[in-house]
Amino acid sequence: MIEHLVLFTAKEEASGEELADLVASLRALREKVPGVVDLTAGENFSDRGGGFTHGLFARFESVEDLARYREHPEHLAVLEKLGRLTTNLIAVDYEA
């Protein structure tokens, strides 16, 4: 299994409505992009996030599935929202 972890920080000027839409768009990728085994996303509620306000966890069966996800038009559209509404994004991919 391939694990894909993304942490990001919402820009101060991003509205609650915009961020809720972003999280919903991220969650929708689970059904829209072939090869996604599991995907969750949400707002951080702990005080241990080091400034990161949101996170995403996705699971894929192979590195090839992750590569297809990264290039999928639905994912690219969500990346545009991420770029507009967030800062300080970090992604980590590893084999479990």
- pTM attached to this predicted model: 0.93
- The predicted-structure confidence for 29-85, as pLDDT tens digits, reads as follows 999 999 999 999 999 999 999 999 999 999 999 999 999 999 999 999 999 999 999
Cα Rg, the chain, nearest whole Å: 13
Q: Which domains occur in the chain, in start order?
A: 2-95 (3.30.70.100)
- The predicted-structure confidence for 26-37, as pLDDT tens digits, reads as follows 999 999 999 999
Helix (H, G, I), strand (E, B) or coil at 6: strand
